[in-house]
Amino acid sequence: MKKLHFPLMFFIFSTGFAQEAEKQTPIPDPLVFETSHQGTFHGKAISYKAISGETFLKNSEGEPVAALWSTSYIKPETDSGKRPVTFIFNGGPGSASVWLHMGVFGPKIVKVDSDAKTDDGAAPFDLVNNELALLDITDLVFIDPVGTGFSKVIGKGKVGDFWGLTEDAKSIAQFIRLWITKHQRWQSPKYIAGESYGTTRASAVTAALESGGQAVALNGLILISQALDYQGSTSMHDNIASYFTYFPTMAATAWYHGKAGQGKKLEDFVTEARAFAYNEYLPALYKGNQSTFEEKEKIAQRISYFLGLEKEYVLLSDNRILTGRFKKELLRKDGKTIGTLDGRYLGEEGDQTAASPTLGDPSSYGIDAAYTAALQDYFAKTLQIKVDRPYLTSNGSIGGKWNWRPVPEGSYWEPSYVNVARSLGESMRRNKDLKVMVANGYYDLITPFLDAEYTFARHDIPIERVQMFYYEGGHMMYNHRPDFEKLVKDIRGFMGK
């Protein structure tokens, strides 16, 4: 019997010892890389330091649960405690901050074709000094949420603690508090710049910063291609709002490709399309099959005029044009497919009979290699970063595991469109100095500009503190050089500079 028990006891002892050893394994100190630099920004010679590395986020027991990666550009000043600081992130969820970092805000940026005529192809790519970076007026902090970039869970952390609407916001809010405490910046004017889901995050983080026992009041939000109320940015059947909100963007795209509105200025044609959407199209959508054939035919003719699609195709679609179909149909006879993030981009697909694009988004695969390579090269050579794990510019596994519930687990909630717009309105009413800038691209076929107008016109948002701007580009309007320059100018004006 002893021979039978001894191996079992040894196994239990050794297993328990191994588990205890695993628990006791120390977490390495945070990785931090600091370098000094000089540059000329808006005509001013500026010395600054770059700090790229991990910040440990901790649970309620004070245990590290995540290593959040950020890159900060700081201009030393005698009274730096009151110098503005801007926290920057992209969207997804599942995207690192590479796009805003290497596209518009960073001290170095990657060049892609401003006119959206040429795919980025393969290396080498052009990495150039960004003389329009905002370092003369604000410090910049680029944040990679957990699961993106080099950011990861550690210790007892689980991805479920971070991959969700409220979970993500709490983690970013915790990071911001840690950053301003470490750098003694509680008195600094504070801004957040977010793009796409990053605007959803910006609103959620704003609310999270108001609570938690350490209230942080923001001075402003810079929302690039806003996504606050997802009903207006979800093109699908039975969602009447989406037929309406996407309509002027599709009209602008048809104008750009010479299929509609020829002889008219873009802004004039967009104004005409917006008026039709409000005054004729929306009532017809709600009336539905109560409309007579003659009424439907009249609306179809008008849709054909604005969108450059054949009237017969519009009627077959029951006067309801999904953006996915529009992107394939507009230039089908030319064998071209239109981009989603930016309707200026074109792709060539083998299947010309498909109802929607089959290769993906040409405005995404037309630039992603350039952005990825430029960041990797810049991190290694300029910022001297050495990390033994890949930098994930995007993480496709996050979206499917994302918790969209705006209420705690166990609370009653029926699935609905994500909406943080009312929360933003409440934050603005609690903070009289919080103002909002909204940047819209005319050719953005994922977060349309009419949706921004429609969203901010509702939800009890103090509209007098909201500034709307429009650009002749897409979701990443800064890829179009004239828009890049206009965006920077508008942000400087928004910040009072």
All structural domains of the chain? 32-230+368-494 (3.40.50.1820), 238-321 (no CATH)
150 three-class SS? coil
Show the tokens assigned to 211. 């609570």
Q: CA angle 242-448-419, nearest 5°?
A: 65
Question: What confidence tier does 24 reach under pLDDT thresholds 50, 70, 90?
Answer: low
- Residue 149 has phi, psi (to 5 degrees) of 55, -130
Q: Which residue has the tokens 């609690």?
A: 430
- In angstroms, the CA 383 to CA 195 distance is 24
26 three-class SS? coil
Question: What confidence tier does 406 reach under pLDDT thresholds 50, 70, 90?
Answer: confident
- In angstroms, the CA 53 to CA 376 distance is 14
Lowest mean pLDDT among 312-321, 322-331, 386-395, 405-414: 405-414
- pLDDT value of position 301: 97
**Mean pLDDT on 230-245:** 93
Q: Which amino acid is at 94?
A: G
343 three-class SS? coil
| Separate counts of helices (H) and strands (E) for the chain | 16, 14
Question: What confidence tier does 55 reach under pLDDT thresholds 50, 70, 90?
Answer: very high
Of 387, 379, 382, which Cα lies nearest the Cα of 36?
382
% of the chain with per-residue pLDDT over 70 = 95
> Are 68 and 55 contacting, i.e. CB atoms less than 8 angstroms apart?
yes
Has residue 22 got a pLDDT over 80?
Answer: no
Show the tokens assigned to 288. 């539905």
- In angstroms, the CA 269 to CA 290 distance is 29
Question: Looking at 236-384, which runs of residues are DSSP E strands?
Answer: 337-338, 346-347
- Greater pLDDT, 350 or 311: 311
- pLDDT value of position 78: 77
318 three-class SS? coil
- pLDDT value of position 23: 52
Q: How many CB atoms lie within 10 A of CB 398?
A: 21
- pLDDT value of position 127: 93
Has residue 25 got a pLDDT over 80?
Answer: no
Helix residue spans in 79-143 (DSSP H): 98-100
- In angstroms, the CA 467 to CA 450 distance is 14
Has residue 417 got a pLDDT over 70?
Answer: yes
- In angstroms, the CA 123 to CA 324 distance is 31
Q: Which amino acid is at 232?
A: G
> Are 112 and 120 contacting, i.e. CB atoms less than 8 angstroms apart?
yes
478 three-class SS? helix
**Mean pLDDT on 208-215:** 90
**Mean pLDDT on 199-204:** 98
Of 234, 180, 175, 178, which Cα lies nearest the Cα of 201?
175
- pLDDT value of position 131: 97
Question: What confidence tier does 133 reach under pLDDT thresholds 50, 70, 90?
Answer: very high
**Mean pLDDT on 423-434:** 96
- In angstroms, the CA 429 to CA 445 distance is 31
Q: Long-range contacts: 285-293, Cβ < 8 Å, 24+?
A: 285/240, 285/243, 285/244, 285/319, 285/320, 286/240
- Greater pLDDT, 421 or 353: 421
- In angstroms, the CA 389 to CA 387 distance is 6
CA distances (Å), origin 156, targets 17, 18, 213, 273:
18, 17, 24, 54
- pLDDT value of position 119: 87
- In angstroms, the CA 57 to CA 154 distance is 9
> Are 66 and 79 contacting, i.e. CB atoms less than 8 angstroms apart?
no
Question: What confidence tier does 293 reach under pLDDT thresholds 50, 70, 90?
Answer: very high
| Backbone Cα Rg of the chain | 25
- pLDDT value of position 466: 98
Of 216, 199, 195, 198, which Cα lies nearest the Cα of 207?
216
- Greater pLDDT, 418 or 17: 418
- pLDDT value of position 351: 83
- The residues with which 35 forms a beta bridge, in sequence order, are 50
**Mean pLDDT on 424-428:** 97
% of the chain with per-residue pLDDT over 90 = 84
Has residue 17 got a pLDDT over 70?
Answer: no
- In angstroms, the CA 441 to CA 477 distance is 6
- In angstroms, the CA 396 to CA 407 distance is 24
**Mean pLDDT on 155-173:** 95
**Mean pLDDT on 310-315:** 96
> Are 466 and 472 contacting, i.e. CB atoms less than 8 angstroms apart?
no
**Mean pLDDT on 56-79:** 94
Query: Rounded mean pLDDT of the chain?
Result: 92
